[in-house]
Amino acid sequence: MKKLMLSMMLLALLLSTNNYANEGKEMQLPKLSVQLWSVRDDLKRDFKGTLKQLADMGFEGVEFAGYFGPYKNNGKGLKKFLSELGLKASGAHVNFKQFNDKNYAKSMAFYQDLDAKLLIVGSDKRAFHPQGIKAVVNELNQLSAKLAPLGFKFGFHNHDDEFNDFKGSTYWDYLAKNTIQDVVLQQDVGWTTYAGKNPIEYVERYPGRTLTTHYKASLPKGTQGKLPIIGEDTIDWLNLIKSNMSVGGTLWLVVEQEEYPNGLTPLQAVRKSKQGLDKILKQVQPRT
């Protein structure tokens, strides 16, 4: 009995020592990026000018969605241009076909030159099909293992359909539980909310796997008096940020705007969501 009590006392001492050591330490806030799908039409009209406007808003990175303007075959040139604006490629949305045997070498050369280390499959209808989901899981595991030695992370992005019921849970849960830890679960918190799920719960359910997160304001069906703008919607952004930092291992918060309320242009809507997010971030802690 005495030995048991002594062991418990030692354990309590160790825990309190660890808590003391971590007390006062500030976790660094994730960096801010923007998903370029938000301003796709502006990019097609004026690629360089649009990126400059996003940089002027204070974004630190951009996530590509398959359109690279005049730099389609020039990853190094695009990286240089981004650097001149003070931006980095926080990642890119890709598809599985880009990494098949025929296209792998060309795709990897481009993303290596661009230095886009987080490659996320933006959508795949198989991911909410009873048989297709198994193929998606298999491909994610294979590509994640193949790209890891090169310093890349491979992952998947959800829409609302991935939260349909499957095997007593959801397709998203099946994907998460059957892929290796290195596979990034890029949660789109807007779609998660729209599907009636809690985005904080899904960050905390799979620790260390939300390296990049889409911060998009989407309103649940029937919502009144709110807008699809960060800070003017229904999402508990403050506690979501805290969960991203403490549990998710999140490196990038990626603002995405797919709705443009009250006649706002895409760039204006992105700016308003960025401003709303900045206000919430100030409640967390200053950047270190």
DSSP structure string for 46-81: -HHHHHHHHHHTT--EEEE-S--GGGTT-HHHHHHH
Q: What was the pLDDT predicted at 62?
A: 98
Place domain 28-281 in its CATH homologous superfamily: Divalent-metal-dependent TIM barrel enzymes (3.20.20.150)
Q: What was the pLDDT predicted at 101?
A: 96
The 10 Å Cβ neighbour count of residue 261 is: 15
Cα–Cα distances in angstroms (integers) from residue 37 to residues 34, 40, 55, 64, 219, in the given order: 9, 5, 16, 7, 19
**What's the rounded Cα separation, in Å, for the pair 98 and 103?**
5
Q: What was the pLDDT predicted at 222?
A: 86
Q: What was the pLDDT predicted at 265?
A: 98
Q: What was the pLDDT predicted at 26?
A: 56
Q: Is 139 helix (H, G, I), strand (E, B) or coil?
A: helix
- CA dihedral in degrees (175, 94, 181, 188; nearest 10)? -60
Q: What was the pLDDT predicted at 285?
A: 66
Q: What was the pLDDT predicted at 221?
A: 84
Strand order in the sheet with 153-157: 184-186, 153-157, 118-121, 88-94, 61-64, 31-35, 252-255, 212-215
Query: Taking the model in full, what pTM does it have?
Result: 0.89
- Local confidence pLDDT in tens for the 288 residues of the chain: 444 343 433 333 333 333 333 333 457 899 999 999 999 999 999 999 999 999 999 999 999 999 999 999 999 999 999 999 999 999 999 999 999 999 999 999 999 999 999 999 999 999 999 999 999 999 999 999 999 999 999 999 999 999 999 999 999 999 999 999 999 999 999 999 999 999 999 999 999 999 999 999 999 888 899 999 999 999 999 999 999 999 999 999 999 999 999 999 999 999 999 999 999 999 996 444
Q: Is 144 exposed, middle or buried (0-12, 13-18, 19+ CB in 10 A)?
A: buried
Q: What was the pLDDT predicted at 28?
A: 86
Residue with tokens 């971030």: 281
Length reported for the chain: 288
CA 248 to chain centre: 10
Pairing, β 252-255 against β 184-186: unpaired
